[in-house]
Amino acid sequence: MAERYQNYVNGAWSDASSGSVSTSTNPADLSDVIGEFQASTAGDVAAAITAAHDVKESWRRTSSLARGGYLLKAAAYLEANPEEFAQALTRECGKAILEARGEIGRAVALLQYYGVEGSNPVGSVVPSVNPEILLYTNRMPLGVVSLITPWNFPFAIPIWKMAPALVYGNTIVLKPASATPHVATLIAKMWEAVDLPAGVFNLVTGSGSAVGNELITNDKVAAISFTGSTRIGMNIAAESAKRGKRYQLEMGGKNPVIVLPDADLEQAAEITVSGAMKFSGQKCTATSRAIVVGNVMEEFTNLVVEKTNALKIGAGADPESIIVPVIDQASKDNIASMIKRGVDDGGQILAGGGVPSGADYDKGTFVEPTVINNVAADAYVACEEIFGPVLSILPAGDAENALDIANSVEYGLSAGIFTKDLNSVLDFADRIEAGVVKINGETAGLEPQVPFGGMKASSSGDREQGKAAIEFFTQTKTIYVDRSAT
């Protein structure tokens, strides 16, 4: 019988009021049931929000150094148990074990970074026109923050939201993706292990349709930080705006790389395939379009196809696997339909295009890494996010045309260029409509000490990580102190 897991509310583990559970399975082997998880209701979410609300003042009044101390203890806890978390992550979301270990390492780095932030100044003293007045600013926490996080980075994304939220004095309720609730329970156990005060962190599992509305509309919630689809994000924006709540949205991407004729084609092909195919393309920053300029199209395409065909398909537990299972059957079906539509619209499959067969794949949700060319810039497959191991190769007449193609979609998350020409680099960096710009580098892959976020439909504009996180999770208070009359 599968192990049953509970919600974590007000420092205690508890069942949902529905009495119902859902299961989580291993995408590499759907017969491998990881456990049963609470199918929470709006009432369960309301209880978690109330728990966070009841302690928000005591947590705000806790020294920021002490708040940072909890993060540093959590980082040490993870460093002492990295393989347990990495293996759990690989089993539940299918990620290659090497990438899973990297994700845990990133979580450690985030906790350490924001743990140290607890000792940094958050305000400033400003000269006043009146020399008798002390004029200064301070940063105040928002209160209760709802965190709604995706399955593709089930450890790192919750941490990069909650670490700054906590160190800046907010209390939180986490609703993880329904596909990866087990990883979220491990995060709760981490906070339990370091004795984070009850109610400061709360976890509720369940479907977005059942609990999402309460996380957004509850009067005790001050802000919502969300990573997921553009459609859901826009709904959150609308509902939050109606209620005057702060919201932070990180959403889809259709990330391009431009390959100029002077590029090192071997390097460009290697990095493009890595960005497009690792974790089976299930990253919001994954490379989705390669826009090739001039007479290097054939050579670059041949290199991409050769490198794609050499990728090993297999379960994430195998350290040699690059193409791992996609998260579930619905995702597998959607990727297949997108590939078919690309072909129907005139595209030609140069690599992959189907699903692997055999005993190693039949129990999981595997998709072949796929390369399509003859794709028009306005074709559906070239404009819409696929979230799978699919790369479209598009021709461009010159650098100007390539930039126009890159900017022609509604998304603007990450983008790259391959060239040795400094003028082309500077022009691209200035004009590309993307929040993350890579020069001769992979569109995926981010460092935690710098801001992250997109433009256009990829983001609400607020940046995550680095020093920028304080802008979302706090509000500025200006204080005038005059001398008392005598």
Q: What is the pLDDT of residues 116-135, one digit of tens each?
A: 999 999 999 999 999 999 99
How far is Cα 128 from Cα 7, in angstroms, rounded to an integer? 51
pLDDT of residue 484: 85
Distances (CA, A) of 265 to 43, 216, 321, 342: 56, 47, 24, 25
- Residues 183 and 92 sit within 8 Å (Cβ to Cβ): yes
Report DSSP letters for 369-410, one per residue. Answer: -EEEES--TTSHHHHS---SSEEEEEEESSHHHHHHHHTTSS
Tens of pLDDT, residue by residue over 177-216, are 999 999 999 999 999 999 999 999 999 999 999 999 999 9
Please report how the helices 97-117 and 64-80 are oriented relative to each other, as an axis angle in degrees rounded to 10.
160
Handedness of CA 339, 340, 344, 349 (dihedral sign): positive
CA atoms within 13 A on the CB side of 282: 25
User: What average pLDDT does this structure show over 291-320?
Assistant: 97
Average pLDDT, integer, range 294-309: 97
**Is the pLDDT assigned to residue 360 strictly greater than 70?**
yes
Q: How far, in Å, CA of 438 to CA of 418, rounded?
A: 9
Higher-confidence residue of 317 and 484: namely 317
Tell me the per-residue pLDDT of 235-263, one tens digit each, with 9 for 90 and over: 999 999 999 999 999 999 999 999 999 99
pLDDT for the residue 319: 95
Measure the CA–CA gap between 217 and 476, rounded to whole angstroms: 24
Q: Which residues are catalytic?
A: 250, 284
What average pLDDT score do residues 279-284 get? 97
Q: pLDDT value at position 113?
A: 97
Would you place residue 342 in the very low, low, confident or very high pLDDT band (cuts 50, 70, 90)?
A: very high
Residue pLDDT, tens place only, 7-38: 999 999 999 999 999 999 999 999 999 999 99
pLDDT at 485 (0 to 100):
74
Residue 81 confidence (pLDDT) above 90: no
pLDDT at 2: 84
Residues 143-162 have pLDDT tens digits of 999 999 999 999 999 999 99
Tens-digit pLDDT profile for residues 379-417: 999 999 999 999 999 999 999 999 999 999 999 999 999
The phi-psi region of residue 391 (left if phi > 0; otherwise alpha if psi is between -120 and 50; otherwise beta) is beta
Q: Which residue shows structure tokens 């650098």?
A: 399
Mean pLDDT of 109-116: 98
Residues across the chain: 486
Nearest-angstrom CA–CA distance, 448 and 136: 29
Mean pLDDT for the stretch of residues 266-275: 98
Q: How far is CA 342 from the centre of its chain?
A: 27
Per-residue pLDDT, averaged over 49-71, amounts to 98
- Strand residue runs (E) in 294-387: 348-351, 370-373
Locate tokens 């005790």: which residue?
220
> Is pLDDT above 70 for 483?
yes
Q: What is the pLDDT of residue 98?
A: 97
Q: What is the pLDDT of residue 11?
A: 98
Give yes or no for residue 486 having a pLDDT over 90: no
